[in-house]
Homo-oligomer: A and B are copies of this chain.
Amino acid sequence: MASMKKLINDPATVVADALRGVAAAHPELRVDHDQRVVFRGDAPVRGKVGLISGGGSGHEPLHAGFVGSGMLDAACAGEIFTSPVPDQMVAATKGVDGGAGVLHIVKNYTGDVMNFEMAAEIVAADSGTEVIAVVTDDDVAVQDSLYTAGRRGVGVTVLVEKIAGAAAEEGQPLAEVAAVARKVNANGRSMGLALTSGTVPAAGRPTFDLPDGEMELGIGIHGEPGRRRVPIANAAEAAEMLVAPILADLDFSGGDGVLAFVNGMGATPLIELYVVFQEVNTLLAKAGVTIARSLVGPYITSLDMAGCSITLLKLDDELLRLWDAPVNTPALRWGA
């Protein structure tokens, strides 16, 4: 077997080692290494709705890179591509409970949804903390998938965390923060493609085989099968293969325009993401859709997969204001 080319110590310790790196690099955060939960240093924030998320590791900076003021209060790190266990979510929920309730932001994968539900039940029985869960399911590529009933939660999760985080930071109550989170999910759509497979450290070889000259449209962030394999296309064609299904799924025209998010899957460099952004810009202009805000970079990745995803979010006054609000996390930071 070819040796795996990764900067790690041992496949069994990748998540623990990376969390120690997060703690060392970001002293403003507090990392519970036993539970594998990354907290805001000042959690719980009294009177503020607490926001937690989490999921399998391998999608960095999602979720720990989005912990900080104006975004998440805590993130639970599962093993690579494996849901955290309910105990982690219980510890996170209790640790961010400032008396105003806690929002769980959950990507729609069967294990994550089930474990967050169990955690909410445990917390309700234990301490009576009010919890509302919002499940993201923005991926238009496939209806059901390897680990999902319904659509998968992908890029819009980053935007939910930012925008609902801003709503919580300005003191909105739990029901309203949850409503904002649901609105972002309802107004957002995504689709991705892979040029190469990522390699799970414990597996030691690529998750799937993607021959030279082919790419996979509609790929999931764990390498789950997408819609179809096609010959490698140029950036303009590739962008159209992602944007067209998104625009077919929701009317993005009019209003206050969209947030256009071109995301790297982990091994695709920024120069290529800007080439794709330019094509998205051209396609949206043709479709009469205005780009009001943008985000370009690797924010929800799939280990060392090469490829990209595109997320569009339909904006209104409220979402624009909350997107622009200050945020101070390792991976998104402005105005603070």
Q: Inside 8 A of A212's CB, which chain B residues have their CB?
A: 2-3, 5
Pairwise interchain contact A7-B267, C-beta atoms closer than 8 A: no
Pairwise interchain contact A8-B333, C-beta atoms closer than 8 A: no
Contact with B along A178-207 (1 / 0, CB 8 A): 000000000000000001100000000000
Contact with B along A253-270 (1 / 0, CB 8 A): 000000010100011111
Pairwise interchain contact A272-B6, C-beta atoms closer than 8 A: yes
A9 CB, min distance to chain B CBs, angstroms? 5
Q: A2-B212, A296-B21 are in contact. Are A272 and B235 (CB under 8 A)?
A: no
Contact with B along A79-90 (1 / 0, CB 8 A): 000000000000
Pairwise interchain contact B278-A20, C-beta atoms closer than 8 A: yes
Q: Inside 8 A of A236's CB, which chain B residues have their CB?
A: 9
A336: Cβ under 8 A from any B Cβ: yes
Pairwise interchain contact B278-A24, C-beta atoms closer than 8 A: yes
Pairwise interchain contact B7-A60, C-beta atoms closer than 8 A: no
Query: Given the complex of chains A and B, what is the CA–CA distance between A6 and B301 in angstroms?
Result: 17
Pairwise interchain contact B5-A294, C-beta atoms closer than 8 A: no
Main secondary structure of the interface of A (DSSP, over half): mixed
Stretch from A95-103, A121-129, A146-154, A303-311 that touches the partner: A303-311
A234 CB, min distance to chain B CBs, angstroms? 5
A291: Cβ under 8 A from any B Cβ: yes
Query: Given the complex of chains A and B, what is the CA–CA distance between A9 and B237 in angstroms?
Result: 9
Q: Inside 8 A of A60's CB, which chain B residues have their CB?
A: 269-271, 274
Pairwise interchain contact A267-B269, C-beta atoms closer than 8 A: yes
Stretch from A10-18, A42-50, A220-228 that touches the partner: A10-18
A277: Cβ under 8 A from any B Cβ: yes
Partner of A277, one of B14, B21, B213, B270: B21
A54 CB, min distance to chain B CBs, angstroms? 15
- Which chain B residue shows the least CB distance to A7? B272
Pairwise interchain contact A269-B266, C-beta atoms closer than 8 A: yes
Interface residues of A in 47-104 (CB under 8 A from B): 57-58, 60-61, 65
Q: A234-B9, A267-B269 are in contact. Are A21 and B333 (CB under 8 A)?
A: no
A281: Cβ under 8 A from any B Cβ: yes
Beyond the given pairs A21-B275, A25-B262, A58-B271, 4 more chain A to chain B contacts, judged by CB atoms under 8 angstroms and listed by A's residue number, are A7-B273, A7-B307, A9-B234, A25-B294
